[in-house]
Amino acid sequence: MQGHIHSTESFGTVDGPGVRFVIFFQGCPMRCLYCHNPDTWQVSGGHPETVESLLAMYEHNRAFYQNGGITATGGEPMLQLPFLTELFREAKARGIHTCLDTSGICYRPDAPEETEALLAVTDLVMLDIKHIDAEQHRRLTGCPNTNILAFAEKISACGVPLWIRHVIVPGWTDMPDEQEALGYFIGGLKTLKGLDVLPYHTFGKQKYEALGIPYPLGDTAPVSQETAAAAHQAIMAGIRRRLREESNTK
């Protein structure tokens, strides 16, 4: 079995706990307006790798990963679900911590067994929720969020630790009421272990220029750390409201 891989990073420090071997999978069905990896969109791109070749790269630097592990990101790793599952299965057999960084867009509620097989060998899921509102999510990414939210609930039901990531984009995800609604939803996820609220940046604009693709957000200004911190507080307010309500019903 081979996977289509865009690239790898030997010493990732922002893609899960510890120092990690990060694998960027090729291909993504979403077209987020603020995507900073447009070069990962096409499934036909990248280069073929086997589970064995990727784990050989990990083993070469294994001494540096004692508190880390492997992170699959992209693109969208779940677009190559059989290969991803086999990679994580073999990694777990070697005692390697496995982290999945995903948008959840490829989750199929009608085929839960495939996802359960993956989650059984996944130690942590970092789930990007782009927008809590269905229509705004479609406008922002080109895709609905129904299966993404269902995937969050599936992760929780399977008992897998979950980190939520959310990017604050001016004019799109910067309304406090929507942020609190997101918090209210994720407050119901029983395995929630972390929340990363990330400020929008323009680091990917040069990639669009190199690919000859117009940058969708034009001259939209980057978001300050202060704005992201305020959004974090709004999301936390929603989480606390959900937890209070659930506590009052017991």
Residue 161, classified by CB atoms within 10 Å of its CB into exposed (0-12), middle (13-18) or buried (19+), is middle
**Total-model pTM:** 0.96
pLDDT of residue 148: 98
Per residue in 224-239, pLDDT tens? 999 999 999 999 999 9
pLDDT of residue 1: 86
The Cα angle at residue 161 between residues 132 and 75, in degrees rounded to 5:
60
pLDDT over 90 (residue 250)? no
What is the C-alpha to C-alpha distance for residues 77 and 3, in angstroms, rounded to an integer? 10
pLDDT of residue 203: 86
What is the C-alpha to C-alpha distance for residues 103 and 114, in angstroms, rounded to an integer? 17
Per residue in 80-120, pLDDT tens? 999 999 999 999 999 999 999 999 999 999 989 999 999 99
Per domain, the residue ranges of the chain are 2-169+190-222
pLDDT of residue 183: 98
For tokens 């939209």, name the residue: 220
pLDDT of residue 44: 86
Question: What percent of the chain is modeled with pLDDT above 90?
Answer: 94
Banded pLDDT at 168 (limits 50, 70, 90)? very high
pLDDT of residue 165: 98
Banded pLDDT at 64 (limits 50, 70, 90)? very high
Residue type, 239: I
C-beta of residue 155 within 8 angstroms of C-beta of residue 185: no
**CATH architecture, range 2-169+190-222:** Alpha-Beta Barrel (3.20)
Region 134-145 average pLDDT: 97
What is the C-alpha to C-alpha distance for residues 182 and 205, in angstroms, rounded to an integer? 28
Per residue in 18-55, pLDDT tens? 999 999 999 999 999 999 999 999 998 899 999 999 99
Per residue in 183-227, pLDDT tens? 999 999 999 999 999 999 998 899 999 999 999 999 999 999 999
